[in-house]
Amino acid sequence: MSGLEARGLTRSHPGLDGEHHVVVRGVDLSLVPGENVALIGRSGCGKTTLLRALLLLDSPGPQDRGEVLLDGKVVRRGGARSLRAFRRAVQYVSQDAAATLDPRRPVLAQVTTPLRTLGVVRHRDDADARARQVLESLDVPADIWGSRLHEISGGQAQRVSIARALALSPRYLLLDEPVSGLDPALRRQTLDLLASIEVDVEAGRSADAESSTKTGATDDETGDAASMAATEAVPADSGAVPAPADYCARPAPADYCARPAPALLVVSHDLAAVARVCRRALVMDDGAIVEDAPMHHILTRPSHPATRTLRDAVPTLPTATTG
């Protein structure tokens, strides 16, 4: 089976009383190529803990359970080499995107450095060309490419972080509260950007050319997912949102638009925001997934009380994307 899965994930945190309190309760979820999925729930319900577990960024204790699978195979925690394929396939954009950028590097180098250090491209000119093309495709102004972190806005930093992830050609892009803390204009721009990361339905199938002998990534590095892209035809109800007509017509590396865009898992407490990007939603409450339904169902006929609370908190309900 092609996809990113979690099976029976359970995670707990130590409390002030010395006892472990369960934060994630036996969660099963799946993300398949070609779909955009929202993981929504009130603050404190366990979304970020689940996301970190799914990314293998946590340190589970003896009382924790569950496994993460990529394409039907369990991902083992065994060091850099065993995690290399997973790190190349799955990219992450943090809630605080600026905190993940290097304040010493200009914008262009934020994107080119991972390309070279992870062996995605060998030559500086190729890295520069690829970075420029991805930044252009995401409308990051060329006049800030030489600027450092303190010289750009929060919205621009968010786009740079997304550009850095997309340049590495991941199969799955996981985003934690991507519009939290942004002003209304930047919020709208970021949501439009996420909606434009659309699956190229004409891409067909590309071969998985992953080589176990390829050198590069360390445990906390992420790399090129091109070698991991065992691409499948995009299902009609995948949840992909149409991209601007020129998205893949803009200058790009020879094979950049030949690959499908990554599937998205957008983590948020903001139903109005994710409804603009995703067609399927997982609702989390008290550490468990309590509802899994199409977005239009979540907006019009929510089944669980937690879902109804999230819906009722939206002053004006958005219109779910129907394709």
Confidence of residue 1 (pLDDT cuts 50, 70, 90): low
CA angle 111–116–119, rounded 5-degree value? 125
Distance CA 80, CA 72 (A): 20
pLDDT in tens, 4-46: 999 999 999 887 877 889 999 999 999 998 899 999 999 899 9
Domain spans, the chain: 4-312
pLDDT higher than threshold 70 for residue 236? no
pLDDT at position 198: 56
Both tokens of residue 177?
Answer: 């509260």
Contact 290, 199 (CB under 8 A): no
Both tokens of residue 4?
Answer: 């990113």
Min mean pLDDT across 168-177, 258-267, 273-282 is at 258-267
pLDDT at position 109: 96
Confidence of residue 181 (pLDDT cuts 50, 70, 90): confident
Distance CA 253, CA 115 (A): 13
Q: What is the largest CA-CA distance in the chain?
A: 58
pLDDT higher than threshold 50 for residue 208? no
User: CB-based contacts of 181: which residues, under 8 Å, 6+ apart?
Assistant: 154
Distance CA 286, CA 25 (A): 8
More confident residue, 1 or 123: 123
Contact 230, 73 (CB under 8 A): no
Query: 4-312 — its CATH code?
Result: 3.40.50.300
Measured from the Cβ of residue 217, the count of other Cβ atoms closer than 10 Å reads 22
pLDDT in tens, 103-133: 999 999 999 998 887 777 889 999 999 999 9
pLDDT at position 70: 94
pLDDT higher than threshold 70 for residue 160? yes
What is the pTM assigned to this prediction? Answer: 0.76
Q: Of the candidates 5, 70, 37, which has an alpha carbon nearest to the alpha carbon of residue 291?
A: 37
pLDDT in tens, 54-99: 999 999 988 999 999 999 999 988 766 667 778 878 989 988 888 8
Distance CA 56, CA 23 (A): 16
Q: What are the phi and psi torsion angles at 93 (to 5°)?
A: -115, 120
Strands (E), the chain: 4-14, 20-31, 36-40, 65-70, 73-74, 90-93, 172-176, 263-268, 280-285, 288-294
What is the mean pLDDT of the segment spanning 264-273? 92
Both tokens of residue 275?
Answer: 């409804």
User: CB-based contacts of 292: which residues, under 8 Å, 6+ apart?
Assistant: 29, 280, 281, 282, 283
More confident residue, 190 or 283: 283
Q: Of the candidates 257, 37, 80, 51, which has an alpha carbon nearest to the alpha carbon of residue 169?
A: 257
pLDDT higher than threshold 90 for residue 149? yes
